[in-house]
Chain A
């Protein structure tokens, strides 16, 4: 392609990329304005001086630190437990080649595809019966199982291709199946496990429907849930809204920058399997 044609095409792609990021830049711009500045100059003008009280007010009003802690505890536990459960299932299916594994796998795939709407009322009811309603533990249990459905599906095909010689050599040396699992299979597959860990964390962090139903009280809410509920109630003014947008986006953006490689690699692995 000639150089003359190259630059307009590059320009088009760059404009597209800027448009994707623009909404967040506008939010950043307005989260740093005082309410007076916003109402005099409108949403498009640059801030006349940096104003952080809006962010501070919002942080205190919704107890944002606590929401961050809740989200981290819930998503972190789900990520770890979900990976453990996925590994156990996938070990039996991918390496143990248990009888009926195709059907078992199909069951896990369907459980992953199932809309949460078809589980939400019974889960709400059962969590009340079990005394787990409005606890972070209820979400940890539910999402560990839901995420491990995907994890089992992905990991089973990865472990299905695991070099058999290594396992047989360890068996001849007298290792039992548990030792094979945690001394050989887990260390060798750790990059895939890392991908799952990151995905489970982000997915759980971003969940909305089940937290909305299972966590009614402010104290237990996650970041995504608290922001969604506030927005649904439409109690926020412009300054508050932008503060919420910025603070809500920040952890996701940081996490994204930290794990960009793992994420893009993981998406590729997930799509081809």
Chain B
């Protein structure tokens, strides 16, 4: 790709010493210190204190963390995070693979790439909506009275299945998960479709000549070829799932009875509703550690996978 850059030393000595380029980092570095590094350090510091946001913070050492590890509400919220990983990462990746492969080497080849890209746009559309719009749309569709889902169930004679989808603690988490699958599906579809464009068509043709079925080709050709994209999608979707906030705020506010509470909403409520800033910061810090650990492991994994190629 970068032709020429490997050719020994530059023939002419640079007139400017290399490190003048470092000056271009100054605005970015200062902005980062003010907006990311300092606030993050403050957050960690708050997490060792007892503070209501007014007066001065009182140093309490590891008390918040000790309390956090015994707080069943926190662990409950963390379990819901795993449900979100299922809904926002595992399911969209799996379904997205099938949809992308079908769109690419089936709709695209036999019905034209125009139709394939229109269909792809349909799958991607929820991704560009503000999450609050998705929330408004779905909380009305899922509403117990006058909601479209219940009306549709009644119309097809399944009235007995009607539920208060977001208001019943037995269903709320599944309803939020379903909404998140809808929100997230377009991202893997688009990435996998562009990944498929890079796969050598000869591989598919060879397999086709061998008389393999579509599923066999999907399993033995498409999947291994898309491995780098699959890692990237899983990693970013999992991180997004651990951070999910807006959807929970708009759909359920963590309720009913905490059945859809997630760490992100839990920390928000602890900061701004209970005004326990120290404890909220401890939640946010633990969340950060988990996400960073995941990101580091994920990036390593991805780098290894790319080396193997």
* Chain A residues engaging chain B, CB cutoff 8 angstroms: 1, 6, 9-10, 12-14, 16-18, 20-21, 23-24, 26-27, 38-39, 42-44, 85, 88-89, 91-93, 95-99, 104, 107-111, 113-123, 125-126, 141-142, 144-146, 148-149, 152, 160-165, 168, 171-172, 176-177, 181, 202, 205-206, 208-209, 212-213, 223-225, 227-228, 231-232, 238, 241-242, 244-245, 248-249, 252-253, 255-256, 260, 263-264, 267-268, 271-272
Chain A residues contacting B46 (CB-CB under 8 Å) are 121-122
Give bound CA distance, A7 to B49, whole Å.
64
Give residues 58-106 of B contacting A (CB, 8 Å).
99, 102-103, 106
Chain B residues contacting A168 (CB-CB under 8 Å) are 10, 12
Give bound CA distance, A224 to B191, whole Å.
26
Q: When the two chains form their complex, are residues B125 and A24 in contact, meaning their CB atoms are under 8 A apart?
A: yes
Return the chain A residue nearest B290 by Cβ: A115
Question: In the complex where A111-B32, A121-B277 touch, is A98 in contact with B141 (Cβ < 8 A)?
Answer: no
6 closest residue pairs by CB, A with B: A96-B21, A228-B132, A122-B39, A268-B194, A17-B122, A224-B130
Q: When the two chains form their complex, are residues B130 and A223 in contact, meaning their CB atoms are under 8 A apart?
A: yes
Chain B residues contacting A209 (CB-CB under 8 Å) are 245-246, 264, 268
Q: When the two chains form their complex, are residues B291 and A113 in contact, meaning their CB atoms are under 8 A apart?
A: yes
Instruction: List 12 additional contacts besides A224-B133, A248-B132; criterion CB under 8 Å.
Output: A10-B111, A13-B99, A27-B137, A44-B155, A92-B25, A117-B245, A118-B39, A168-B12, A208-B245, A209-B246, A253-B128, A267-B187
Chain A residues contacting B120 (CB-CB under 8 Å) are 264
Could you tell me the dominant secondary structure of chain B's interface residues? Answer: helix
Chain A residues contacting B135 (CB-CB under 8 Å) are 228, 231
Residue among A26, A99, A117, A163 with the highest chain B CB neighbour number at 10 A: A117
Give bound CA distance, A1 to B277, whole Å.
61
Is B257's beta carbon under 8 Å from chain A?
no
Which stretch of B168-176, B199-207, B279-287 is in the interface? B279-287
Residue among A10, A113, A146 with the highest chain B CB neighbour number at 10 A: A113
B157 → chain A closest CB, angstroms? 14
Return the chain A residue nearest B47 by Cβ: A118
Question: In the complex where A227-B136, A264-B194 touch, is A92 in contact with B16 (Cβ < 8 A)?
Answer: no
Q: When the two chains form their complex, are residues B128 and A255 in contact, meaning their CB atoms are under 8 A apart?
A: yes
Q: When the two chains form their complex, are residues A96 and B22 in contact, meaning their CB atoms are under 8 A apart?
A: yes
Supply 23 A–B pairs (Cβ within 8 Å), ascending by A. A1-B106, A13-B107, A20-B122, A26-B148, A43-B148, A111-B36, A116-B245, A118-B281, A123-B35, A149-B32, A171-B14, A181-B24, A208-B246, A227-B132, A228-B250, A231-B132, A241-B139, A242-B140, A244-B133, A252-B130, A256-B125, A264-B124, A271-B229
Chain B residues contacting A1 (CB-CB under 8 Å) are 106, 110, 214
Question: In the complex where A114-B36, A165-B4, A208-B245 touch, is A13 in contact with B268 (Cβ < 8 A)?
Answer: no
Question: In the complex where A20-B126, A209-B245, A252-B129 touch, is A271 in contact with B191 (Cβ < 8 A)?
Answer: yes
Is B5's beta carbon under 8 Å from chain A?
yes
A270 → chain B closest CB, angstroms? 9
B288: contacting residue among A98, A115, A148, A249, CB under 8 A: A115
Return the chain A residue nearest B236 by Cβ: A271
B233: contacting residue among A125, A205, A271, CB under 8 A: A271
Question: In the complex where A9-B106, A205-B130, A238-B140 touch, is A228 in contact with B246 (Cβ < 8 A)?
Answer: yes
Chain A residues contacting B21 (CB-CB under 8 Å) are 91-92, 95-98, 177
Give bound CA distance, A9 to B109, whole Å.
13
Q: When the two chains form their complex, are residues B277 and A146 in contact, meaning their CB atoms are under 8 A apart?
A: no
Chain A residues contacting B31 (CB-CB under 8 Å) are 85, 141, 144-145, 148
Q: When the two chains form their complex, are residues A115 and B102 in contact, meaning their CB atoms are under 8 A apart?
A: no
A29 → chain B closest CB, angstroms? 9
Give bound CA distance, A44 to B182, whole Å.
20
Q: When the two chains form their complex, are residues A17 and B123 in contact, meaning their CB atoms are under 8 A apart?
A: yes
Is B185's beta carbon under 8 Å from chain A?
yes
A89 → chain B closest CB, angstroms? 4
Return the chain A residue nearest B299 by Cβ: A109
Return the chain A residue nearest B30 by Cβ: A145
Is B151's beta carbon under 8 Å from chain A?
yes
Give bound CA distance, A121 to B187, whole Å.
30
Question: In the complex where A121-B43, A161-B2, A253-B128 touch, is A6 in contact with B110 (Cβ < 8 A)?
Answer: yes
